[in-house]
Amino acid sequence: PPPTGASPGSGALNPFDRRLKRKQKNWAALQAEPAKCDYLREEVRGRGRWRGHLQTFPLALDVGSGRGYIAQHLTKETVEKLIQVDMAENALKNAVESEIPTVKVVADEEFLPFKEDTFDLVVSSLSLHWVNDLPKAFREIHQVLKPDGVFIGAMFGGDTLYELRCSLQLAELEREGGFSPHVSPFTAVADLGHLLARAGFNTLTVDTDEIQVNYPGLFEVMEDLQGKYILCMGESNCSWNRKPLLHRETMLAAAAIYQEMYGSSDGSVPATFQIYYMIGWKYHESQAKPAQRGSATVSFGDLAKIEGLLKRGKK
């Protein structure tokens, strides 16, 4: 694969250390019983629209496939052949078996090694929020799609872990006089449709959803994020400007703030994961086109008359 990192000096343009992210994902794929750590991916996989289309796609691409989470939801009637791409070779080696014939390719999501107009379908689940250049990634996905091909994706949204982010920032401001990021930056939903349209996609659909996980307290949230669950998913922070350690006093203050601001009556605290679901099509002349401006035969002003017309029709 091409180079996956950037120099620390270029962190303003490239917020993520892609080499570190590759190491994290490779490490996560080697953990014992990794399926127990995949609760978020499994939930997103179940809520997604990977099976929501009736047509059959001869050739599909899974960008950032990991251990093959989406492939488990696809059938031969939906996809005839699947190419799985991930930057972590260990994830591909430990991929879950699927009934669909698959080909595994080690490559960076930011540099797709495929020709133009190759795939009928491109899917991606919880991977694109780690790329440095999201507009470029969308353009590459659009490029490798055939005309009338469809892209279906899911990624973490801007409000992900807002409770944790706010608590840590307030605690650091109070105890240390400033703060640094401990949660990776995410794209805002207002920007997502614009980025997809600029990449060339049309007939866009962008939905948001939230998954809330309850924990006993902040320390249990941090344990999951840094240890047994999220890190097992390869979702640990890999920002260039991340802060390696938190002072004990700051952590205690953050735990108190978390409980005070977001705690439930039973003593637990929530951690919210915002998910963006997106669908976009590559243009083809056979696709339905919007009617010309001024060609409507019914006015919106007539909507108020519908109820009366229905009543008369029933009589």
pLDDT in tens, 256-275: 999 999 999 999 999 999 99
The Cβ of residue 117 has, within 10 Å, a number of other Cβ atoms equal to: 12
- Cα–Cα distance between 20 and 25 in angstroms, integer? 9
pLDDT on residue 150: 95
266 is a domain residue: no
pLDDT on residue 226: 59
Beta strands in 131-200 (DSSP E): 145-156
294 is a domain residue: no
Locus of tokens 């080696």: 93
pLDDT on residue 181: 58
Give the pLDDT band (50/70/90) at residue 13: low
pLDDT surpassing 80 at residue 20: no
Name the domain count of the chain. 1
Q: Do the strands 60-63 and 119-125 form a parallel or antiparallel pair, or are they unpaired?
A: parallel
**Tens digit of each residue's pLDDT (9 = 90 or more) over 72-99:** 878 888 899 999 999 888 888 888 888 8
Phi, psi of 265 (to 5 degrees): -65, -25
299 is a domain residue: no
pLDDT surpassing 60 at residue 25: yes
Give 220's strand partners: none
pLDDT > 70: what percent of the chain? 75
Over residues 276-281, the mean pLDDT reads: 93
pLDDT on residue 245: 62
What predicted TM-score, i.e. pTM, was given to this entire model?
0.76
**Tens digit of each residue's pLDDT (9 = 90 or more) over 128-171:** 887 888 899 999 999 999 999 999 999 988 888 899 889 988 99
> What proportions of the chain, in percent to the nearest 5, are helix, strand and coil?
35, 20, 40
Torsion of CA 24, 26, 30, 36, to 10 degrees: 60
pLDDT on residue 235: 42
267 is a domain residue: no
Calculate Rg over the CA atoms of the chain. 22
101 is a domain residue: yes
In sequence order, which residues have a C-beta less than 8 Å from that of residue 79 and are 6 or more positions away? 56, 57, 60, 100, 121
Angle at the Cα of 12 from the Cα atoms of 9 and 17, rounded to 5 degrees = 70
Over residues 31-49, the mean pLDDT reads: 67
pLDDT surpassing 90 at residue 176: no
pLDDT > 90: what percent of the chain? 34
DSSP summary character for residue 203: E
Give the pLDDT band (50/70/90) at residue 48: low
> Domain of 90?
18-161+185-214+272-284
278 is a domain residue: yes
- Cα–Cα distance between 201 and 142 in angstroms, integer? 7
pLDDT surpassing 70 at residue 44: yes
pLDDT on residue 158: 84
Locus of tokens 């939801």: 73
Q: Picking from 58-62, 114-118, 152-156, which range would have the lowest pLDDT averaged per residue?
A: 152-156
Which of 69, 64, 15 lies closest to 238 in space, CA to CA? 15
47 is a domain residue: yes
Give the pLDDT band (50/70/90) at residue 55: confident
- Cα–Cα distance between 95 and 105 in angstroms, integer? 12
pLDDT on residue 10: 38
In sequence order, which residues have a C-beta less than 8 Å from that of residue 131 and are 6 or more positions away? 16, 109, 110, 137
pLDDT surpassing 50 at residue 241: no
Which of 296, 179, 190 lies closest to 247 in space, CA to CA? 179
pLDDT on residue 7: 40
Over residues 231-257, the mean pLDDT reads: 64
pLDDT on residue 9: 40
CATH number at residue 37: 3.40.50.150
pLDDT on residue 61: 96
pLDDT on residue 68: 84
pLDDT surpassing 80 at residue 177: no
- Cα–Cα distance between 142 and 139 in angstroms, integer? 5
91 is a domain residue: yes
Q: Find the farthest-apart pair of alpha carbons in the chain and give their distance in angstroms, rounded.
A: 76
The H or E element that residue 227 is part of is none
Q: Mean of the per-residue pLDDT values for the chain?
A: 79
Comparing 70 with 261, the larger pLDDT belongs to 261
